[in-house]
């Protein structure tokens, strides 16, 4: 799977393994200060992608990666740096992010599900990944990637 087509690209993820492979590939490019924004409806594959990404970064394929739906933020220490995984589904708006320590989190690697809740706090340098299910194709997804230059994704 190649991510080098352009700074905005669409990939077909044929199954769960392809979604997990994308997570692992993106994990290899991440450094402190990077932000990943995951968009998509419920069941689009956001959690599958995040689990694969975090497990790869931690070097632990069996690591438990709970959804931060109720805790809002889940932290991980990895060899590549600290990672904050946020699920903003239940967040009322960007004002509540300050209580979560948003500004301090941005020094780490940050992964945000439901980034529409960020509103004007959305980092302009973020990689946005929008996942969509493919109708009539069980398990297939489209992944729309934008926000990083193509050469950044191919590292």
Q: Is residue 27 included in any domain, yes or no?
A: yes
Query: Helix or strand or coil: residue 49?
Result: helix
Give the residue numbers spanning the domain of 89. Answer: 7-111+145-152
Quickly tell me which residue has 């992608």 as its tokens.
49
Model confidence at 155, in pLDDT bands (50, 70, 90)?
low
Residue 5's pLDDT is what? Answer: 36
CA distances to 2, 103, 113, 130 from 85, rounded to whole Å, are: 25, 14, 8, 16
Query: Helix or strand or coil: residue 11?
Result: strand
Number of domains in the chain: 1
Q: Is residue 82 included in any domain, yes or no?
A: yes
Residue 4's pLDDT is what? Answer: 43
Compute the distance between CA of residue 62 and CA of residue 40 in angstroms, rounded to an integer.
Answer: 25
**What is the CATH classification number for the domain harbouring 27?**
3.40.50.300
Q: Is residue 117 included in any domain, yes or no?
A: no
Range of lowest pLDDT (2-6, 28-32, 89-93, 141-145): 2-6
Q: Is residue 20 included in any domain, yes or no?
A: yes
**Does residue 88 surpass a pLDDT of 60?**
yes
Q: Is residue 119 included in any domain, yes or no?
A: no
Q: Is residue 38 included in any domain, yes or no?
A: yes
**Does residue 6 surpass a pLDDT of 90?**
no
89-124 in b/e form (b: 16+ CB < 10 A) is eebeeeeebeeeebeebbebbbbbbbbebbeebebe
Model confidence at 68, in pLDDT bands (50, 70, 90)?
low
Alpha helix (H) residue ranges in the chain: 16-27, 46-58, 95-99, 102-105, 150-153
Residue 2's pLDDT is what? Answer: 46
């Amino acid at each position: 799977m190649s991510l080098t087509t352009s700074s905005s690209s669409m990939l077909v993820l044929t199954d769960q393994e392809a979604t997990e492979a994308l997570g692992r590939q993106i994990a290899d490019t991440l450094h402190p200060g990077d932000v990943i924004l995951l968009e998509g409806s419920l069941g689009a594959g956001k959690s599958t992608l995040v689990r694969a990404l975090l497990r790869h970064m931690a070097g632990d394929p069996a690591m438990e990666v709970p959804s931060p739906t109720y805790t809002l933020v889940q932290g991980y220490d990895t060899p590549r740096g600290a990672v904050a995984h946020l699920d903003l589904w239940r967040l009322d708006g960007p004002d509540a992010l300050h209580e979560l320590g948003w500004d301090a989190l941005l020094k780490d690697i940050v992964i945000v599900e439901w980034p529409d809740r960020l509103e004007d706090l959305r980092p302009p340098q973020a990689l946005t990944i929008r996942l969509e299910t493919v109708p009539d194709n069980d398990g297939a997804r489209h992944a729309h990637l934008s926000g990083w230059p193509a050469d950044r994704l191919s590292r």
